[in-house]
Amino acid sequence: MSEHAAKADGNEDMSTIDHHGSHALGGHHDEGSYLSLKGGIVSTMWAWATTIDHKKLGVMYLAAVLTLFFLGGVAALAVRVELFQPTTMVNGKITGQVFQDAGGAVAAGHAIYNRIFTLHGAIMVFMVIVPGIPSALGNFLLPIMLGAKDVAFPRLNLLSWWVYVVGSVLGVVSIIMGGVDTGWTFYTPYSTSTDWDVYMRVVLMIGAAFVLGFSSILTGLNFVVTVHKLRAPGMGWFDMPLFVWAIYSTAIIQVLATPVIGITLLLLIFERLFHVGIFDPAIGGDPVLFQHFFWFYSHPVVYVMILPAFGVISELITVHSHKKIFGYRAMAFASLGVAFVSFLVWGHHMFASMGEMASAVFSALTFLVAIPTAVKVFNWVATLYKGSIQFTAPMVYALFFLFLFTIGGLTGLPLGTLSTDLHLHDSYFVVAHFHYVMMGGTIISFVAGIHHWWPKMFGKMYNERWAIIGACLVFVGFNLTFFTQFILGTRGMPRRYATYIPEFTNLHQLSTYGSFILLLGFLVHLFVFIHSLVAGRPAPKNPWGGLSLEWETDSPPIEHNFHHEPLVKHGPYDFETTVPPHWDPKDYPIPASNFTAAKH
């Protein structure tokens, strides 16, 4: 007890704490911004590479994820260019210079195409969408939103970052060596029998996914413990921002589902290297077992991708319409509900290989997902009703999200229905569906979240007008690219083909034009971000008028996040009771009485 009191005293004056020799954490004692540079380039880089500060790790994740997003995006454009005409392009014309077989011979157009779309899928899923919001925004925001100084295990967080780097490098090395053409799902027996000439590529890519899984587990574990143990005084479970609820639900899925893909990929590697036979029908193994194992992870992981996006959208919609979220508890429980149901639906990826009864059960369970999801969409729309909506770039994106995600969600229903799925599965309809959810949902809200928290992360405002222009370009480009694919799918265009019949040419060309508008939109965003870093005006503490704890810290935050441990006195969305009438974001901070720092 006496230690506890001594510790509390120490909190009043940061400098007392930091003189203790045993405190490896928080080695920097000053109250300056976490971004402030000390020392030369080499020592700064070393300080970042070995940092245990969750904010720096979040920024590094952001940089890595955006770089890989660019790489995966280039692959997607290459796919769209190839599909501009019904036949394959002349061998090697686009990509043959880079993607050569070990022997040096230019691979055939189809093989290149297979590798490029695998590259696109593997990078986007394992390196961009899964780690994107939790690792980049989550790392940065979770402790601050909870009023904590860091995540529960900062060193583990650093380890998790480096594991992510190693995994990504393995994946990229595999691509540079020539890439794999298994698709991101690594289905056996194809993944165990292809590319034997230089078989290490497939092993490398599977190894990359395995290693990235470790990073995901460690981050999820860290977040769960952080939420349980490090909430600020006065913050109960239902005082947490919904972004935290979303990240928490995500982290639970990461912890419970990722180990299964871990063992699956490990067995797949053993299968390739030692031929243990578990997935090999030649000695009695079962390839469908691989699919069960794979989707037991990979369907829940679909919600690892979308749940954090829900969290981001909940924050954006309330803050930019200055209205209390409609149905806070329903939103929190819906996140947990999605996490729970996600473990029961993996079988819908194998309708064709299961019995009728099992298929019907999985189909019914799949429809359950629609309930919590629809609750969320309903609540977002209800929150907007009579709110004072500001059309900032994050809000514009949040509205686009509602539109795109609803299309993505509703088109999931015909795929979960047995009779329609028989016609639609493995067609462009599926491709369009998951792009509406994964890109229209996750990537859109990721970009929206980056805009929303950009002033907090970097202390600079961005150019609102250009950001909105970029958002509109992305919206138009996205719909042009993928809505056409719904039509293509219903007309019978199968996925993963490099060629198609001439009747599909017009729609394919429209889709390709759309992808370039999409590229233009993202280039505008890149320009806006760079312009903001170089010449943006300094951001105030609370540019949007949010009420969660991250808007209480400086922009950018100090090393320890808060000058004093915050004491939570109002909920994250109590705009009606906390904010004076006729407020203006420029008036912030809100009168000090509401934001008294904890006094010990």
Partner 1 sequence: MSTLPAQSNSSGDAPLWKKYQAANHYRSKEEEFDACKLGMWLFLTTEVLLFAGIFVGYAVFRMLYPEAWANGSSYLDWRWGGLNTIVLLVSSYTMAVSIHHAQLNNQAALKRNLLITILCGAAFIAIKLTMEYIPKWSAGKAPGGSFFSYPFATDPHEPLWWGIYYCGTGIHALHVLIGMSLIFWVYMKARKGHYGPNHYTGVEVVGLYWHLVDLIWIFLFPLLYLIG
Q: Please give the residue ranges that form the binding site for partner 1 (CB under 8 A).
A: 3-4, 7-8, 10, 17-18, 20-26, 143, 148-150, 152-154, 156, 217, 221-222, 224-225, 228-230, 255-260, 262-264, 266-267, 270-271, 274-278, 280, 282-286, 289, 293
What is the three-class DSSP state of 437? Answer: helix
Closest separation in Å from C-beta 177 to partner 1: 23
For 480-557, strand residue ranges (E) read none
What is the three-class DSSP state of 427? Answer: strand
Place of tokens 């290297």: 273
Q: In the structure encoding, which two tokens stand for residue 549, read together?
A: 């704890």
Query: CA–CA separation, 170 vs 211, rounded Å?
Result: 9
User: Could you tell me which residues come within 8 angstroms of residue 63 by beta carbon, excluding any fewer than 6 positions away?
Assistant: none
Closest separation in Å from C-beta 282 to partner 1: 7
Backbone angles phi, psi at 566, to 5 degrees: -75, 150
Nearer to partner 1, 158 or 224 (CB): 224
Closest separation in Å from C-beta 215 to partner 1: 13
Whose CA is closest to 125, among 301, 277, 252?
301
Nearer to partner 1, 115 or 560 (CB): 560
Closest separation in Å from C-beta 275 to partner 1: 4
Give the distance from CA 333 to its chain's centroid.
Answer: 21
| Contact call for residues 82 and 116 (beta carbons, < 8 A) | yes
Nearer to partner 1, 112 or 224 (CB): 224
Q: In the structure encoding, which two tokens stand for residue 307, read together?
A: 């749940």
Closest separation in Å from C-beta 264 to partner 1: 6
Query: CA–CA separation, 202 vs 368, rounded Å?
Result: 36
Closest separation in Å from C-beta 159 to partner 1: 13
- CB count within 10 Å of CB 197 equals 10
Rg of the chain on CA atoms, in Å: 24
Nearer to partner 1, 284 or 502 (CB): 284
Nearer to partner 1, 282 or 534 (CB): 282
Nearer to partner 1, 190 or 527 (CB): 190
| Inter-CA distances, 304 with 131, 297, 440, Å | 9, 10, 15
Closest separation in Å from C-beta 100 to partner 1: 29
| Contact call for residues 61 and 472 (beta carbons, < 8 A) | no
- CB count within 10 Å of CB 77 equals 16
Closest separation in Å from C-beta 449 to partner 1: 24
Q: How many CA atoms lie within 13 A of 466 on its CB side?
A: 16
Nearer to partner 1, 104 or 355 (CB): 355
- What per-residue string of b and e applies to 32-43 under the rule 16 or more CB within 10 Å gives b? ebbeeeeeeeee
| Inter-CA distances, 240 with 72, 311, 321, 328, 548, Å | 34, 11, 19, 10, 8
Nearer to partner 1, 4 or 465 (CB): 4
Closest separation in Å from C-beta 315 to partner 1: 23
| Inter-CA distances, 21 with 2, 104, 148, 558, Å | 20, 58, 22, 22
Closest separation in Å from C-beta 289 to partner 1: 6
- What per-residue string of b and e applies to 487-509 under the rule 16 or more CB within 10 Å gives b? bbbbeebebeebebeeebeebbe
| Contact call for residues 453 and 550 (beta carbons, < 8 A) | yes
Closest separation in Å from C-beta 599 to partner 1: 15
Nearer to partner 1, 243 or 296 (CB): 296
Nearer to partner 1, 86 or 277 (CB): 277
| Contact call for residues 141 and 243 (beta carbons, < 8 A) | yes
Closest separation in Å from C-beta 193 to partner 1: 12
Nearer to partner 1, 83 or 224 (CB): 224
Nearer to partner 1, 24 or 592 (CB): 24
What is the three-class DSSP state of 25? Answer: coil
Nearer to partner 1, 232 or 476 (CB): 232
Closest separation in Å from C-beta 269 to partner 1: 11
Place of tokens 């299964």: 260
Alpha helices in 40-181 (DSSP H): 41-49, 54-82, 109-122, 130-131, 139-146, 154-176
Closest separation in Å from C-beta 331 to partner 1: 24
Query: CA–CA separation, 18 vs 8, rounded Å?
Result: 13
Closest separation in Å from C-beta 300 to partner 1: 11
Place of tokens 């009191």: 5
How long, in residues, is the chain? Answer: 600
Nearer to partner 1, 230 or 350 (CB): 230
Give the relative orientation of helices 154-176 and 109-122 as an angle to the nearest 10 degrees.
170
- CB count within 10 Å of CB 590 equals 18
Nearer to partner 1, 7 or 537 (CB): 7
